[in-house]
């Protein structure tokens, strides 16, 4: 993505967020000054309602692999949504009740940072699909879509962690990917040597999630693919 395009998209988002009272004016202004050149940033978005658990651990493995691609030029950050209240209604223009908590606006500056060139979304598998928190977050990304498709051309990878070996990870991954296509993001799989459309991880109750060797390999590969392509696009 050219720097001009990246900046134009970001300014549109930051401006609208500020107008909506979602971003403090000074913070938005500071971010507008940030240079889109230099290191890129990959965000890992953990959509488990449980903080620091298996999905967060898997995402950290993916992020570490992303940084390893080029440690001088790839910054990483794990963003856990656990504990945040993200109602879905505003995505459809439905107003919240007076005083109803909405933490999505606090995520807007982070996602709008022009350095952010890639997202890795991690979801636990809940009844063969993503969590409600993940769905609400993805619905609220409507904000970016309405702001000149501000997430378009950013690279995205997806990880799903289930308590069963074949517990619906694939459906969860593909459901998240479907929402990301709706943002015109560039969705990647896990790359060679085999065909994996993302990372399917098995969280065995009696073991740490990192014990799933095949799952961790896919997780590392997703992280690497996201970073490799995001770097290539940043240099284009
Ligand atoms: C409501 C609910 C539904 C679940 N449904 C599934 C499922 O369909 N398939 C599966 O493999 N695991 C299922 N699990 C297990 C979680 O996916 C698994 O424990 C996961 O590792 C939790 O992620 P976390 O440790 O990051 O919170 C379910 C758990 C909950 C709480």
Please report, in tens digits, the pLDDT of each residue of the chain (236 residues total): 444 444 445 444 444 443 343 443 334 334 433 445 799 999 999 999 999 999 999 999 999 999 999 999 999 999 999 999 999 999 999 999 999 999 999 999 999 999 999 999 999 999 999 999 999 999 999 999 999 999 999 999 999 999 999 999 999 999 999 999 999 999 999 998 888 999 999 999 899 999 999 999 999 999 999 999 999 999 99
Q: Which atom of ligand 1 is nearest to the CA of 127?
A: 8
Q: In the structure, which protein residues have their CB atom closer than 6 angstroms to any atom of ligand 1?
A: 48, 50, 53-55, 124-128, 161-164, 167-168, 203
User: What are the residue ranges of helices labelled H in 123-208?
Assistant: 132-140, 142-145, 169-181
Q: Which atom of ligand 1 is nearest to the CA of 57?
A: 26
Q: How far is the CA of 4 from the centre of ligand 1 (A)?
A: 42
User: What CA–CA distance (Å, rounded) separates 160 from 178?
Assistant: 14
Contact 82, 158 (CB under 8 A): no
Among 166, 179, 147, 77, residue whose Cα is nearest residue 119: 77
- The fold of the 3-235 domain, in CATH, is Rossmann fold (3.40.50)
Among 213, 158, 165, residue whose Cα is nearest residue 187: 158
pTM, two decimals, is 0.89
Residue with CA closest to ligand 1 atom 15: 163
Among 151, 204, 153, 195, residue whose Cα is nearest residue 173: 195
User: What CA–CA distance (Å, rounded) separates 20 from 183?
Assistant: 21
Structure tokens at 49: 């309602």
């Amino acid at each position: 993505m050219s720097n001009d395009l990246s900046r134009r998209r970001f300014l549109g988002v930051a401006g609208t967020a500020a107008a909506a009272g979602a971003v403090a004016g000074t913070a938005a202004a500071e971010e507008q000054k940030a240079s889109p050149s230099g290191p890129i940033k990959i965000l890992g978005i953990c959509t488990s309602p449980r903080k620091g658990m298996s999905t967060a651990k898997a995402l950290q493995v993916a992020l570490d692999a992303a940084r390893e691609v080029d440690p001088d030029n790839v910054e990483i950050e794990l963003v856990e949504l656990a504990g945040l209240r993200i109602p879905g209604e505003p995505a459809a223009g439905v107003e919240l009740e007076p005083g109803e908590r909405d933490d999505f606006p606090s995520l807007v500056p982070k996602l709008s940072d022009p350095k952010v060139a890639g997202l890795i979304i991690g979801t636990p598998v809940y009844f063969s699909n993503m969590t409600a928190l993940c769905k609400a977050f993805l619905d609220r990304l409507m904000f970016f879509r309405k702001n000149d498709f501000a997430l378009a051309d950013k690279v995205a990878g997806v990880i799903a962690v289930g308590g069963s070996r074949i517990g619906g990870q694939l459906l969860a991954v593909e459901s998240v990917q479907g929402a990301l296509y709706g943002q015109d993001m560039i969705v990647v799989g896990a790359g060679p040597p085999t065909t994996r459309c993302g990372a399917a991880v098995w969280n065995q109750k009696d073991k740490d999630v990192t014990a799933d060797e095949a799952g961790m390999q896919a997780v590392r590969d997703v992280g690497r693919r996201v970073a490799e392509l995001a770097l290539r696009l940043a240099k284009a």
